Structure 1
Amino acid sequence: MRVTRIGGPTALVEWEGWRILTDPTFDPPGRTYSFGFGTTSRKTTGPAISVDDLGPIDVVLLSHHQHADNLDDAGAALLARVGTVLTTRAGAKALDHPDIRGLAAGESTTLQGSGRRSLRVDATPGRHGAPLTRPIVGPAVGFALTPEGADRPVLWMTGDTVLYGALRRAVAGMRPDVALMHVGAVKFPISGPLAYTMHARDAVELIGIVEPGTAVPVHVEGWSHFSEQEAAAAQVFDAAPPAVRDRVTWAPLGQALELG
């Protein structure tokens, strides 16, 4: 598997002929976006790879559509070039695409391509904030991709989520080859200490539960509302027990990382 971290939550995953893009964000830096209820964030860095240099994409895994740090304007425009978009049920209703599939946690769909192994995609639980915040922040899901004939996923993308009971139970012992871990500890002044994505310490616990072959942190730089940026998160991962620390691999921005 080859993983190229593009910036924020966006990564290109290439596996056995499949080209998979996660949460596409390709706007240039400098703009401030509204996240509703008086919250805003500024995009501080642009994508490490431009849309023009991206090449063809078979499928987009979109954890949710309602926030610009997961789907900005250029990312939304890119969807027209993509074969299939997988997202939440709400996202499937809101976005116009000929093959967009909305999934709730626990639901699945199958991706098929000529000359390639089919992939079963299972939606995993996501809660994008503290209890009772869903009416404000909206739904989010993760995605686990399992090849035909395999007994465990080759890829799991957490999506934007905090660590909570339903997620722990759903992914315990999953053992994907690669896990894309959304961290960054998103916070806004209006809601004080409440985090809307995982702290690195939460990701450390989750890695111990999931036992991925390799965990690649993403969603950890490029936006002002990420309260725990890459350097701070790296310190937490470096201090983790060896059973977790040895599974973590940072993908340099814009450079293809060969895994497995």
Structure 2
Amino acid sequence: MKSLGRRAEGERLERMQDSPRWHDGRFRNQHPIQPGLRDPAASMPTVREFLWGGERRTPGRALPTLNPHTVWARRPDSGLRATWLGHSTVLLEIDGWRVLTDPVWGARASPSTLLGPKRFQPVPVALDAMPAVDCVVISHDHYDHLDYPTIRALARSNVPFVTSLGVGAHLQAWGIPPARITELDWWETHTVPGTDLCITAAPSQHFSGRGLKDRNATLWSSMVVRGTRHAAFFSGDTGLTTEYALIRQRLGPFDLVMLEVGAFHPAWGDIHLGPANALKANALLGGGTFLPVHWGTFSLSTHDWDEPAETLLQLAPAHGARLLMPRLGEPVEPVQVDTVAPWWRDLQSAHAPAPLPAATTPTALPATLPWPLD
């Protein structure tokens, strides 16, 4: 199956093996996990709980969206603007350049077009209607961040890719020429040719893999995007780690911080943030304007689809966090937004559970999931 990707070999593999993060044939998290992140009393969700548990795992009707093209036609007054397009896909306009993070236009976060988590609704802007971008940043190789049909479509453009060590093997297998691929180890920086954009890979606490036998065969990273006047932090996927304080020291301060808040579970606490730990991570990073990502698009855990947003809204004042929570497709400049309108609450009364039909029950999966699918 082509969507599984390809393993690294040759010079690419040799460079991976030279990384300080490579041990015994795979990448590993380098920093000790903070105590208390994973609830010792929490059990892994069963397959049945993961696939059918909870009536509010999906919104009751389509989420409100905006058409951003009119706004995109003019440059941001402040020099920094972000448009959340769903999950971890953000069009970042920074100091005259455009960067697209973890682009996923596919219908499912899965190697299959028939099975796996299905997105709540299409991306508010079709991929072929997107403006030209100067760089695509990909944090790691999980299906909800590295999407085969999207990459195949982007292969027809000339856009360069910046990603983590090893992920380039997938990109190259799907039609991206090697000259357009830059793979970074943590703390390495790449200046995008023809621009003033500097992309730096930084630590995160996560894992990788697209199949049953390639766990941690590629690196996972957070990414820092810096222009001439502004800097933005993009978490990719991560648990809470004190390395965020080091990132702040070495690469901060940040005008915009994009942190994952969805797809969390008490038993997964060391590799996903969730909203409460995202607020702690934001503080470690210096408290820049906080744009939550990795929610509102796929049901990848057992919590309500809007729980990340509600919890953030409740906890943010005590942390002194400045939230930026736009609707899908709504371009926002961090310096111009002072309040949050909880737009997601309009959908609460219209919920209708949407369980999968019995015919799709996976009979070959284990009784419990040993780790998140994301």
Is the TM value for this pair above 0.5? yes
CA–CA separation in structure 1 for the residues paired with 2:138 and 2:238? 13
Contact 2:279 2:321 in 1 (8 A): no
**SS in structure 2 of the partner of residue 242 of structure 1:** helix
Post-superposition shift, 1:154?
Answer: 1.5
Identify which of 90, 94, 105 aligns with 2:170: 94
Q: Which has the higher strand share?
A: 1
Partner of 1:140: 220
Contact 1:123 1:142 in 2 (8 A): yes
Post-superposition shift, 1:125?
Answer: 0.5
**SS in structure 1 of the partner of residue 215 of structure 2:** helix
Contact 2:207 2:219 in 1 (8 A): no
Which has the higher relative contact order, 1 or 2, with Cα contacts under 8 A spaced 6 or more apart?
2
Question: Which is further off, 210-219 or 16-25?
Answer: 210-219
CA–CA separation in structure 2 for the residues paired with 1:229 and 1:22? 25
Partner of 1:23: 102
CA–CA separation in structure 1 for the residues paired with 2:86 and 2:267? 25
CA–CA separation in structure 2 for the residues paired with 1:18 and 1:243? 35
The CA deviation string for residues 119-169 of structure 1, in whole angstroms up to 9 with x for no partner, is 222111122259xxxx72552111112234x6xx51111111111233443
Partner of 2:154: 79
CA–CA separation in structure 2 for the residues paired with 1:175 and 1:229? 33
Contact 2:260 2:274 in 1 (8 A): no
Aligned CA RMSD, in angstroms, stands at: 2.8
Give the TM-score, by structure 1 length: 0.81
- Does 1:61 pair with 2:140? no
Identify which of 265, 287, 292 aligns with 1:217: 292
Contact 1:238 1:245 in 2 (8 A): no
| 1:46-195 alignment runs, 5 A limit | 46-64=122-140, 66-80=141-155, 81-96=157-172, 97=176, 98-113=179-194, 118-128=196-206, 136-137=215-216, 138-148=218-228, 154-171=231-248, 174-186=252-264, 193-195=267-269
Gaps of 5+ in 2: 1-79, 209-213, 336-374
**SS in structure 1 of the partner of residue 192 of structure 2:** strand
The CA deviation string for residues 53-80 of structure 1, in whole angstroms up to 9 with x for no partner, is 212111011001x222112233212332
Bigger radius of gyration among the two: 2
The CA deviation string for residues 85-106 of structure 1, in whole angstroms up to 9 with x for no partner, is 0101111233223321101111
CA–CA separation in structure 2 for the residues paired with 1:20 and 1:171? 21
CA–CA separation in structure 1 for the residues paired with 2:181 and 2:304? 32
CA–CA separation in structure 1 for the residues paired with 2:308 and 2:154? 31
Quickly say closer, same or farther: Cα 1:16–1:209, change in 2 above 3 A.
Answer: same
Partner of 1:44: 120
Gaps of 5+ in 1: none
